[in-house]
Amino acid sequence: MKDGTWEKTPRDLHGKPVVTIWAPEIHYLKKLNTYAIVLSMAPSGISILKSITGKPEGPYVNPAPGGGMLRAGIDPTLFEDDDGKVYFTNSGGGTISLMKDDLSGFAMTKPVALLNPDHNPAHHAAKVVARGMNGFGHEGAVLFKANGKYYHGAVDDYEGRYSSCVAIADNIWGPYTNWHETVPCGGGTGFFEDKEGNWWCTFFGNDDQAPWREMPGIVRVEFGPDGKIGVAKKQPFVNDPKWN
């Protein structure tokens, strides 16, 4: 990071000094009419960068006071609601923060409740089991809105699959319910809607049950009557623009 601030300082990871970016995301923020990048630096520490030109290529500045760290942790994500307010969550979820209008920090941070959590140990990573299985997951947090509902969750090891598991709420602050596995093996990625109204999940493949391993892809998803997310029965085919 040529023009970085605290991000340029090597940090200790497994006994070695490194400058390593984890889980970067780029978001276009309509109300601000610009792009923002959130990223984490190994082994912990989150930065936010804002384009000063409104263009995705930047240049970018760190709006945090003194160009400092936004928060400790990993796997950050942003979500812009219909009213233009921007929200933040990271790591294994469980807290949501309202960003200040200039993205320099947080105006408010709240824990969010998960009703009727899944207490089946086979649906969780060992660290989540040790914590009582009452949370949203252990890393790769997601936060978005679809069909008037809010979705918040994180990656969990669901029957050995590295999957994004989410819960649903009518209000961004919760409470959330109906925690469930979404795209099997599709954890640590994101959900988005295209211009035609189709919903997709980006896919990486991070476990032995994945149809492909450690290569990027997208999977079309659908929402059930109860709001739960699943893989769509009809998927696109390469070189077939009329798949839908």
Q: Residue by residue, what is the 3-state secondary structure of the chain?
A: CCCCCHHHCCEEECCEEECCEEEEEEEEECCCCEEEEEEEECCCCEEEEEECCCCCCCCEECCCHHHCCCECCCCCEEEECCCCCEEEECCCCCEEEEECCCCCCEEEEEECCECCCCCCHHHCCHHHHHCCCCCCCCEEEEEEEECCEEEEEEEEEECCEEEEEEEEECCCCCCEEEEEECCCCCCCCCEEECCCCCEEEEECCCCCCCCCCCCCEEEEEEECCCCCEEECCCCCECCECCCC
pLDDT of residue 14: 87
What is the structure's pLDDT at 238? Answer: 58
What pLDDT, on the 0 to 100 scale, is given for residue 208? 93
Give the residue ranges of the chain where pLDDT is below 50. 1, 243-244
Beta bridge partners of 193: 199
Q: Which residues contact 19 (CB under 8 A, 6 or more apart)?
A: 1, 7, 8, 9, 10, 11, 41
Report the largest interatomic distance among the alpha carbons of the chain, rounded to a whole angstrom: 52
Domains of the chain plus CATH, in order, are: 1-111 (2.115.10.20), 115-133+148-163+176-244 (no CATH)
Q: From CA 123, how far away is CA 129, in angstroms rounded?
A: 9
Output the pLDDT for position 204.
86
pLDDT of residue 244: 46
Contact 200, 189 (CB under 8 A): no
The whole-number pLDDT of residue 234 equals 84
Residue 7 has a pLDDT of 87
Q: Look-up: residue for tokens 């760190």? A: 62
Residue 2: the pLDDT is: 58
What pLDDT score does 240 carry? 55
